[in-house]
Amino acid sequence: MSKTVQRVITLIAILIVLGLIIYPKLPIANEEGTASASKNTPAPGAGATTIDAEIVQFKSFDNNIVLTGSLLANESVNLSSEISGKVNRIYFDEGQYVKKGQLLVTTNVADLQANLQRLQYSVQLNEQTENRQKQLLEKGAISKEEYDIAFTNYKTAQSEIESLKAQIDKSKIVAPFSGYIGLRYISEGSYISPSTQIASLYSIDPIKVEFSVPSRYSTLIKQGNEIGFTTEASSEERKATVYAIEPQIDPVTRTLKVRAQSNNDDGALIPGQFIRIQLTLDSNSKTILVPTTAIMPESDGHLVYVINDGEALAKRVELGVRTADQVEVLSGLSRGDTIAIAGVPQLKDRAPVEIKRLEGGKK
């Protein structure tokens, strides 16, 4: 094949390829002989950005913060004996509810009771001696010093009896307040001392709620404030009332320790449980809240787009508290303003817009 023939074939192939590229782009005449409009021809109003908008209204807003804390027994104590001795009898069951003053444990004090009986006989003898010496003193038969010795012996014996009775009373362990007995760590017949833990006693109605507030909120928490909380075991919200505030901020954590009380008549709350607390710092019934999607951040602040006569007008705003999906606007917006809440990143100042969906009013 000659070079001329090769050039002709190459030229024909190039023309065929160009024809395949150009042909689809040529206008096709319809039955009236007019060319159909290209699919890419812009429709009327296509230059406007489609957005969702919202009419600004006043809303009620509670400024809440979420904290963590724990539950404490209203009263709790580790029961123990004031004296050493062998356990004579146990009068409670584990987990039992006991009343204040109820007898729980006794220890063997037979030796102390024997000494008590001996001292009682001694007191009787010393009392008789004191009476006789008193009569003799009145008759002048003895000196005042002799009578004073008899009187001192009598009173000393009385004091020893009172001391011994107090020792015997210490052998009886009673409930210092009403509550629930925990697990028992002794048995009848075991020897106990003041360092031996017998059991624990808990008063849980009402129950205490303990938590810490960041120092920047320390002036907002007051006695009598009501808080809501949930436990790790239940999502049911319960209420508690603040009754005590630590007078000093912790220098390490920079927090203020607070305690509140909650009703626990059903016994569902258990000391030691982890809780989440919702603390209302302040409440405002006329707050402007807008979706976070309406806010555009800038290097020196924030802005929103206010819709007016089909145009988006950029307006600077001052923001307050944020929630999960809303933000408080302190200044820059007024009630009744229509703002863009979707499609905001595509907007520019004075850009034409078309509202697809309007919240808070009619389109």
* Cross-strand bridge partners of residue 78: 200
Q: Are 278 and 289 part of one and the same domain?
A: no
Both 81 and 198 in one domain: the answer is yes
Last residue of a domain, one of 232, 259, 283: 283
Looking at the structure, tell me whether residues 85 and 180 fall in a common domain: yes
Residue 39 inside a domain? The answer is: no
Q: Could you tell me if 247 and 355 lie in one domain?
A: no
Identify the pLDDT of residue 23: 55
Question: Which one of 233, 266, 283 terminates a domain?
Answer: 283
pLDDT at residue 274, as a whole number: 95
pLDDT value, residue 315: 93
Same domain assignment for residues 208 and 277: yes
CATH number of the domain enclosing 225: 2.40.30.170
3-state secondary structure of 281: strand
Same domain, 221 and 152: no
Q: Are 354 and 51 in contact, with CB atoms under 8 Å apart?
A: yes
Residue by residue, pLDDT tens for the chain (363 residues) are 566 666 767 767 677 766 666 655 445 444 444 333 333 433 444 578 999 999 999 888 777 778 999 999 999 999 999 989 999 999 999 999 999 999 999 998 888 788 878 888 888 888 888 888 888 888 888 888 888 888 888 888 888 888 888 888 888 999 999 999 999 999 999 999 999 999 999 999 999 999 999 998 888 888 998 889 999 888 899 999 999 999 999 999 999 999 999 999 998 999 999 999 987 766 777 889 899 999 999 888 999 999 999 999 999 999 987 877 889 899 999 999 999 999 999 999 999 999 999 987 554
- Are both 214 and 275 inside the same structural domain? yes
Asked, for residue 330, whether it belongs to a domain, the answer is: yes
Give pLDDT, residue 259: 96
In a domain, 133, yes or no: yes
Identify the three-state secondary structure at position 36. coil
Do 115 and 149 sit in the same domain of this protein?
Answer: yes
N-terminal to C-terminal alpha carbon distance within the chain: 76
Domain range enclosing 197: 77-103+175-203
- Got the DSSP string for 142-192? S-HHHHHHHHHHHHHHHHHHHHHHHHHHTTEEE-SSSEEE------TT-EE
CATH number at residue 150: 1.10.287.470
| pLDDT at residue 135, rounded to an integer | 87
163/184 same-domain check? no
Query: How many domains does the chain divide into?
Result: 4
* pLDDT score of 111: 81
The CATH number linked to 352 is 2.40.420.20
Residue finishing a domain among 170, 187, 217: 170
Check which CATH number belongs to the domain holding 81 and give it. 2.40.50.100
Q: How far apart are CA 161 and CA 228, in angstroms?
A: 56
- 195 and 239, same domain (yes or no): no
Check whether residue 315 and residue 304 sit in a common domain. yes
What is the reported pLDDT for 39?
39
